[in-house]
Amino acid sequence: MEAGGWGKVIGIKVNLSGVTKTYQAGKGFYRALDGIDLNVGRGEFLCLLGPSGCGKSTLLRIMAGLEKASGGRVEVKQDSPANPLCSVIFQEESVFPWMTVRQNIGYGLSLRRVPEAILRAAVDWYMDMVGLYPFADYYPHQLSGGMKQRVSIARAFANDPEILLVDEPFGSLDEQNRVLLQEEFLGIWEGSEKTVIFVTHSIDEALSLGDRIAVMSASPGRIKAEFPVPIPRPRKIPGVRDHEAFREMFQGIWEVLRQEVKRI
Amino acid sequence: MYRHLSPVGPIDCQVMGWGMWQAKGRYNRVLYVISPLAMLMLWELAVRIGALDHRFFPPPSAIVGVLVETALAGEIFRAAGTSLVRIVAGFIAGAIPGLVLGLAIGVIPLLRSALEPIIYAICPIPKLALLPLIMLLFGLGETSKIVTIALGVFFPVLINTAAGVVGIERIYIDVARSFGARGLDFYLTVALPGALPSVLTGIRLGAGLALLLIVAAEMIAAREGIGYMIWSSYQTFTLEKMYLAFLVMSVLGWLMSVGLGRLEKVLVPWKPGGGGR
């Protein structure tokens, strides 16, 4: 499998086959996911794109082990037993209000009883990467929304997982902050060799960040189409929109997506 | 109509408002001191002219006299100290089990279903009603006082802790699970800190109950303490001492409230408007 540009894809990291999810809703059943087949390559940046309520967050939660699939198979290859398999960056504000920036970022490492010196070095590094070094001992209520999301990103990276599961982390931010954080996210990720599965409803975001885009149908969720993104890395965030592939692909993906949005 | 509009800009208005507020603040502060003093003077005066019966309402000057006398003899400190020790011991004996069981009930639904009906059956019984039983079981010594207070503190701490854990937003539990927090780690990093504001509410409620219970318990069976002081001054009809005991209770209650405020700032520094950074 060939991914666009940067991603060094050697083999398959995540394999989903026939994954379904059914909820009990009142007396009936509600099918959120209906036979998801998807492969994600090692080191690949995959964007899961779909209309609101298509079950893309549910799929992410299943991969994170926070929910159980009703059917199908989820296979994830673990490469290094010393590292955690995946960390999640959540959509809503998810930094612990009772921990300082430093404690939040070090959460995963401290749970794993990583030696204090190593923990401190890792936390300092990622805190610096997201520009929060001066705010190390602040509590989240003293931070802006963008800064809290930066803590959340640093917390996931500092945990050093093999896979990052990212659920629309910039949805609640204003345009300027969103672009800024996309840029920072790419900056940290590029060269980290981590596999990323990034849920978004923004075509723009998916094209800016991803090696490949999997478009989901409206509920029940299925993978409707897949688009490799042939834009080379490293990418500059606002600049990536000027790439000719960006505009062509935007049109093509929108055609697929519009039918799904209309169905809701 | 235009003549009503003054040429004063918004900044001037603010300055005026600020100045008035400051003046008001000064008056408020003066009132804060004057009003209780005025009440004491009025009281003194009313007793002196015979409008108040001095047997039931001994004048403040007489109470101060007894205060100096008992303070010099150390009696008042012994009484307050005895009560305080009982309160603190009862507090620890009640709050810690309440906290631990509350956390467990909040985290483990099975335990919650099993224990909730029992808790809600026992909780509404006024702990004062249990006093005779407690004395039968634990005798007339210190233990029965401590047990009474412990019971009074236990239930509000338990119930508020459990409610605090249940009220923790789901997202934080998801984060903890996704980072692999299990067992004691989960309790210490999420359940306890997340429930802490609610735990402190329980402790505040418990503090109020503790004051109530210590007086009642000491009135019924004790040879020392503030409650005993009130009861013995009733029996010997030395009401100056009784009023002195009221004063001590008031100070004790105030100290507990200040202490709990401090504790909250230390334990929950992350609350908006709470302690430092």
**B276 part of a folded domain:** no
User: ipTM higher than 0.85?
Assistant: yes
pLDDT, tens digit only, all 264 positions of chain A: 444 444 455 689 999 999 999 988 888 888 899 999 999 999 999 999 998 888 999 999 999 999 999 999 999 999 888 899 999 999 888 999 999 999 999 999 999 999 999 999 999 999 999 999 999 999 999 999 999 999 999 999 999 999 999 999 998 889 999 999 999 999 999 878 899 999 999 999 999 999 999 999 987 889 999 999 999 888 888 788 888 889 899 999 999 998 888 876
**Span B50-100, pLDDT tens digits:** 999 999 999 999 999 999 999 999 999 999 999 999 999 999 999 999 999
How many cross-chain Cβ pairs, A to B, lie less than 8 Å apart? 59
**B277 part of a folded domain:** no
Using an 8 Å CB-CB cutoff, list chain A residues near B196.
98
- A2–B contact, CB cutoff 8 A: no
**B274 part of a folded domain:** no
Using an 8 Å CB-CB cutoff, list chain B residues near A84.
179-180
**B106 part of a folded domain:** yes
- A67–B contact, CB cutoff 8 A: no
Domain encompassing residue B124: 3-267
Tell the residue number behind the tokens 């306890």, with chain if given.
B192
pLDDT of residue B121: 95
Residue of chain B nearest A103, judged by CA positions = B189
pLDDT of residue A237: 83
Strand order in the sheet with A12-25: A28-41, A12-25, A71-76
Contact of B44 with B61, CB cutoff 8 Å: yes
Contact of B104 with B111, CB cutoff 8 Å: yes
Low-confidence ranges of chain B (pLDDT < 70): 1-23, 273-277
pLDDT of residue B21: 61
- B178–A contact, CB cutoff 8 A: yes
Largest Cα–Cα distance in chain B? 83
- Which of A87, A92, A139 is facing B171, going by the closest CB pair? A92
pLDDT of residue B25: 75
- CA contacts within 13 A on the Cβ side of A245: 14
- Residue A263 tokens read as 């169905």
**B214 part of a folded domain:** yes
| Residue partners of B135: CB distance under 8 A and separation at least 6 | B144, B220, B221
Interface test with chain A among B174, B178, B265, B267, by most A beta carbons within 10 Å: B178
- Which of B178, B185, B269 is facing A139, going by the closest CB pair? B269
- Residue B112 tokens read as 């919650």
pLDDT of residue A5: 41
Work out how many domains chain B is built from and give that number: 1
What's the CATH number where B214 sits? 1.10.3720.10
pLDDT of residue B26: 79
pLDDT of residue A236: 87
